[in-house]
Every structure is written in C-alpha cells, then in structure tokens.
C-alpha cells in the first residue's frame, strides 16, 4: 500500500486536496460529551426507519425506555413488520409501529426533485427519505419539538448521549452524533480511506437530533439526503455534533450497483459542500451555475481515477479485495459519465422549490397534540387507504 506521502499526489500530477475534501467537520460546532449539557425529558420521540427484522429495534427500544419517550418505527419490505415489532416490543416501552408499504399514499408533497429523476438512471426506489419526512410530519401532528432519528444499525453508548444531543437543540437546529465503529462513508470514500486517503465522516441522518419547529427542511429522495436536510436558505443550518455512536460493519464493495446508485447524490452533496468549505464562501448559491459543476465533475473524475489507481497498485494478497473495489469504482465512474452540469443545476433549482413547498405543506398540517389515532390518519393523502399500525396504547388495529 502507498504511504500517506505518496497518496497526496495522483497520476495527473495534481494534489489530492484539489480533487476531494476528505472532511467538512470545520463547518460544525463540536461539543465533547463531557462538555455538552444533559437534561432529562428533552427527547420527545426516537424515530427509526427500518427494512430489517424487528430484532434490530431492541437497542432503540431500550433507549426510548431509558429516556421516557415513545419509539416510532417505520417499516417496509419483506423482513420488517410493524405487527411483529409490536408483538415483541419489550414491556414498558411506549411505541408507535407503522407499515409504510406504499410511499405514494403518504401525505407528502409531490416533490419536483423526485419528478425530475423519474425516467432517468438517477432515480432511486428506496423509501428512506419518505420515512424520515413522515417522521417529521408525525412530529408536527403530535406536537413533538425534538425528535431523534436513529438508524437500526446504529448503537448508542447510553441514553445520556442522546439527551445531550437533544439538549443542544436549545441553540442549534440540528445536532448530529459522531458515528464511530464502521465509518459512515459512500463506497467511493470508503475506497479512498482504505487506500491511504484522509477521509472523515460527516453528520448523518443515522443519528440525528432535530428541532422540528424552526427552519423546516425535508429529506429529498437521493443519496446523501441528510446532507441536503442540513442546508438552509443560503448556507448550513445551525449545526453541532456531540457524543458517539457506532455503526455496525458491512461490506461496501459486495455489490458494484451500490456505488453506481450513490454517485449522483454523492456528486451533488460533495459539490454543494465544496462551496461551503471555501474560506470566502458566500453559501451554496453558486451551485446553480453550470460552470461550478463543469469544474467539479472534472475534479470528481480525477478523484475517482486517483483512488482506482491506488487500488490497482495494492499488493496481491491484500486484505482488501482489489477486484471488488475496482468493480465498484468503475461502476461509479460509469454513472459519473452520465451526469452533466446542466442537470445538476436543474436538480438544485428543483430542490429550492421543494424546500419552499415543504414549508408551505407543513402549515396545512394541524398540531393536534393528541392521540396517535388522530395523527396517523393525517399521514396519508385524502382518499388513500389508511396505514396499518400498532401502538402500546392500543394493540387492536
């Protein structure tokens, strides 16, 4: 494997930091756990989008019990069932378990960003963004001011870590938690890190405390949807990070399709945050200029080619499967070649429209401050079939 000094230069002779920013942490206020405030009763709900077996909810259920707040689990796909989660939920845990079998029924706006990607290679069939937006909708209906999004493959050291993150919402709009364990990166960035590149993890939706009544934002249906949720009108929303959580390990290179499907979202997010990283940053507005994307797409291509060059120089017998990583990087390059600057601009403009549309949509949603029975009815469009759901208050659905 190349040394750190060797990986600073690429085959084109350019310095790697001119091609890729391995960290955006300077954009975030960091609070060590021993410094961050902690108060009981500051978490209104934990929201877990899941496609996995209900046993993956055990950790989140223990956290909810310790924090004295309800657990909201949003289920879809073959292995995940709200009914089974309800049956096996530990005694004393308050919960709302909902099956999200068809996102089209949900009472969400018809986002222009979603319509733009339909019938293109960049469209994603995942429902993660719909589930997170449904969590935000339910928070408004239930009168929850502070909720914590937690992925089912994330483990928190203790409920105090979550309470500290939520307490910082007095000042900040969003508070992330440091994701340790297996790094939270895209496939391309995993390859960069594993071949000697300097690569950090940024704030992500896998462990995110959000204040729901200020500066409303939404999760678009794209990879890195959480990075877009963190954006405000001109720059980042007020953002902090504290505590530590661990993500369970997985093999990012087991399917080249993963890198291919991530590439458009990775390009857009990294291209927008590239602008925010600048010392003279005036915000992300330059992302609506095709010239920015022409430059950035060239950087991105050089960056992936650099990583691919390093992978091909790995010694035989390396613990990293050279062929699997190479296949993933080639898949990413193939998808990159289909992205053009004008389409990136179209997406950013559609996202601006969607952000305003989301704000307007929330004003039409009542703040019921009442039972889950009334709230869940509002989660689907008028005339749509109601969702199947179970709760600790009433197991008959």
> Does 282 have pLDDT greater than 80?
no
User: What is the predicted pLDDT for the residue at 244?
Assistant: 87
Q: Kindly report the length of the chain.
A: 397
For the record, the structure tokens of 358 come out as: 């989301």
pLDDT surpassing 90 at residue 8: no
Are 244 and 161 within 8 A, CB to CB?
yes
The runs of H, that is alpha helices, within the chain are 4-7, 58-67, 82-87, 112-117, 128-142, 159-167, 187-194, 225-229, 256-277, 290-312, 322-336, 341-363, 372-377
pLDDT over threshold 70, residue 10: no
SS3 for 179?
strand
Residue 291 has what pLDDT?
Answer: 96
Q: How many CB atoms lie within 10 A of CB 251?
A: 11
Confidence of residue 16 (pLDDT cuts 50, 70, 90): low
Mean pLDDT of all residues in 104-108: 96
Sequence ranges of the domains in the chain: 4-391
Q: What is the mean pLDDT of residues 270-297?
A: 89
pLDDT at 17 over 90: no
**Does residue 204 have a pLDDT over 50?**
yes
| Three-state secondary-structure class, residue 147 | strand
User: What's 276-321 look like in SS3?
Assistant: HHCCCCCCCHHHHCHHHHHHHHHHHHHHHHHHHHHHHCCCCCCCCC
Average confidence (pLDDT) over 319-347: 95
Given a cut of 70, is residue 218 above it in pLDDT? yes
pLDDT-derived band at 343 (thresholds 50, 70, 90) equals: very high
Look up the pTM and report it.
Answer: 0.92
> Is 32 buried (19+), middle (13-18) or exposed (0-12) by CB count in 10 A?
exposed
**In the predicted model, what is the mean pLDDT of the chain?**
90
> Looking at the DSSP assignment, which residues form a beta bridge with residue 156?
245
């Amino acid at each position: 494997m190349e040394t750190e000094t060797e990986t600073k230069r690429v085959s084109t002779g350019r310095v790697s930091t001119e091609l890729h920013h391995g960290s955006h942490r300077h954009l975030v206020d960091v609070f060590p756990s021993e410094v961050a405030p902690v108060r009981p009763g500051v978490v209104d709900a934990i929201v877990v989008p899941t496609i996995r077996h209900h046993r993956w909810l055990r950790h989140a259920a223990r956290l909810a019990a310790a924090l004295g707040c309800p657990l909201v689990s949003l289920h879809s796909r073959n292995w995940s069932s709200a009914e089974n989660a309800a049956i096996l939920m530990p005694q004393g845990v308050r919960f709302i378990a909902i099956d999200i079998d068809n996102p089209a029924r949900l009472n969400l706006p018809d986002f222009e960003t979603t319509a733009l990607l339909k019938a293109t290679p960049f469209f994603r069939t995942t429902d993660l963004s719909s589930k997170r937006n449904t969590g935000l909708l339910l928070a408004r209906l239930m009168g929850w001011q502070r909720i914590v999004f937690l992925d089912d493959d994330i483990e928190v050291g203790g409920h105090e870590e979550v309470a500290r993150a939520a307490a910082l919402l007095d000042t900040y709009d969003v508070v992330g938690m440091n994701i340790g364990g297996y790094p939270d990166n895209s496939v391309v960035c995993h390859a960069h890190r594993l071949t000697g590149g300097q690569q950090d993890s940024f704030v992500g939706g896998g462990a995110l405390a959000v204040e729901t009544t200020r500066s409303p934002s939404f999760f678009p249906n794209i990879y890195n949807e959480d990075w877009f949720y963190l954006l405000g009108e001109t720059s980042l929303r007020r953002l902090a990070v504290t505590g530590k959580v661990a993500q369970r390990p997985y093999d990012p290179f087991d399917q080249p399709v993963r890198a291919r499907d991530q590439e458009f979202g990775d390009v857009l997010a990294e291209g927008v945050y590239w602008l925010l990283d600048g010392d003279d940053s005036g915000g992300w507005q330059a992302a609506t200029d095709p010239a920015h994307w022409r430059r950035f797409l060239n950087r991105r291509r050089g960056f992936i080619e650099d990583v691919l060059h390093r992978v091909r120089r790995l010694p035989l017998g390396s613990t990293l499967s050279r062929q699997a990583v190479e296949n993933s990087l080639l898949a990413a390059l193939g998808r990159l070649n289909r992205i053009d600057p004008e389409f990136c601009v179209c997406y950013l403009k559609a996202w601006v429209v969607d952000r305003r549309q989301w704000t307007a949509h929330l004003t039409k949603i009542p703040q019921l401050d009442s039972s889950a029975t009334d709230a869940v009815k509002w989660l689907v469009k008028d005339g749509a079939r109601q969702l199947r759901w179970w709760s600790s208050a009433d197991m008959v659905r």
